[in-house]
Structure 1
Amino acid sequence: MHTYLSLSALQSALTVPDLSAPDSGHAVSAMLASVTEALTQLWALPVVEHRPSPLVSVRDNYDRLGFSPDDVTRDSRYSRHISPTVMLRSHTSAGMPAVLDTLQPELRRYDTLHVLPGLVYRRDAVDRTHVGTPHQVDLWRLRSRGLLGVPDLNEMLGAVVEAVLPGARWRTTPSTHPYTTAGVQLDVELNGEWLELAEAGLVAASVLRASGLDPRRWYGLALGMGLDRAVMLRKGMDDIRLLRSTDPRISGQLNDLNPYNPVSTMPPMRRDLSLVCADDVDAEVLGDAARSALGLDADILADLAVLEVTPASALPAGAVLRLGLQPGQANILLRLTLQSLERTLTSTEANELRNRVYVALHEGPTMELITV
């Protein structure tokens, strides 16, 4: 059974500014423009940009893109459902079925690049490279009366890499996606390390057919990329929270794609928690709950690391009794890293934030709070 977002949680999600918007003046928007321009120069094709509502049907987000009924990403632990049939999109690909539907009456030759950028909404782990509302873009080239194949896909990948990290080495590894065939993961080399940049493939015949398009006549290339990650790689940034910083020393460097000049960082503070939680809980669920508990202070949480998970069956009887563990529960050792980007936290502030996370995540009968 799904759990559904409250009205206040929905309103909060919908008020997060979209930095990919053309009028944002932000590096995320500049990256989107760079990638789009690279592909238009490569192919000399018309471009159509779509910015549909982030509220989508569950059917468009999953079923029409080929996700199986039991796919784990459908679980409310990882996605944000509004009702049994409506959700906040978990990927910008959710907008493509509606785009494909508009092509049913098209009888002429057709060759167009469709660009779908914007925020996506997930329950994600907390660390310096993940956030619950990242920016994504889907780039789909759709053609009728003309083949598109793996050579065209590789050409696309090369142009995207050049737009994100000019001159970088890149490689592909096979990767399965429900809405593509010949799927690949695109990696780039940076400072001697291979890092994932995007995923891509040929549009699956089943997806075309679901929109009434004959796969013997229609072909497509599909590429999905995280814009936040692309900007971080391009500018040399190591903390995704910097992209929304209000510190003038930081925000003043976020209106272009020039290299980032690090500013002095505030010292981190760490707090360890011993929690009682369901034994199947994971970092994504805990991270989302922690963000929700902290509300406007969520950006101070730089990292949430699960250090150890010990189910009740593996603990001594005395520990089970002391913690009040029930069947199906576990003792979770968690480490919070608290760090403001703008100021130094006091110990009292760190303890207060720790307590808010503890109360939200702990399911045991006894609270162990720090006096603030």
Structure 2
Amino acid sequence: MKWLSLTLALAGPSQAALRFGCSTVSIQRLDPLVEPGALPSAHLHQIVGGNGFNATMQGDIAEKSTCTTCTFSENFSNYWTAVMFFKHPNGTYKRVPIMQNTALPNGINGGMTIYYTQQDFNSNGNQKITAFKPGFRMTVGSPTYNPADGSRGNPGLRFVCLENKGTRFPELPTFPTRPCKGGIMTVHHFPACWDGKNLDSPDHQSHMFNTVREAFAPAGPCPASHPVRMPQLAFETLWDTTQFNNMWPADGSNPFVLSFGEGGDAKGYGTHADYVFGWKGDALQRAMDSSCMFNACENGRPLKSQNVAAMNKCAVKDMVGEELDDWLPYLPGQGPIIMAKKK
């Protein structure tokens, strides 16, 4: 309860809102939260953030990374999601490439847009936000989630059919049912209310409480069981599905799947994301206590930042050696490993 008592004692308003890019640090079958130590894990993930990412991450990961693919050079956190594949009518699979968000600097290598907010997409807010702690981790969604058809699915886990890279709405609970002119965006909003005691929980979710509604709409108040308001964390990933638009199945069925389950998840209800906190020192708390918004937080105001070349240079070595770029007879993890060709 030490952190909770300190939080309540220091309670005061802040107005920070962070939005920044992270290029891809790795795409491989590793999952240190759900399958710690497994090499490879059951399904494929795209990962951004610090280069300390590995199969058995423990403790303060900010001390175990030497570089990061994120804009803020003090941010060694890791963020990861399932990978999207196109399923050809002949049964083979092709990994969908990732595009950068139009709001980010040019040249970012794939990756994601990351948000730490407390209000909504257009404004900051005025409540006390407590930064995550060293060793903190959580997930949102589940690859085994399978509601009845017609359900709105998990709140905050959405798809956007893009007209262009700036499209934001409407947010859909499942994959779009038609070819999208500008690609598909996946959105993952995490819960923002902490129990004040546990850095993790057996299901990686129970130590947090979900107040997310739709999109970046302001969340409700935190309950007594989870009284500490933390940043509203969100990931956006833009998938370049346009190259497959002329291969859309004749029967109109959705050809995209997520990288898990027998034959993949073609509904999208099982979309999920993982987070391990790894900001250096008090950097994130300093940001949350400031009044900066988005790129105004860069260049030491109050956070140190780096250029795109430095972001793209950071990487994690391939620990599995699996072929991911050719047309594949099955999803990675659904058959024998196909070894990557030597370059």
Fold match (TM-score > 0.5): no
Structure showing greater radius of gyration is 1
TM-score, normalised by the number of residues in structure 1: 0.26
Structure 1 or 2: more helix by fraction: 1
TM-score, normalised by the number of residues in structure 2: 0.28
Structure having greater relative contact order (Cα 8 Å, sep ≥ 6): 2
Structure 1 or 2: more strand by fraction: 1
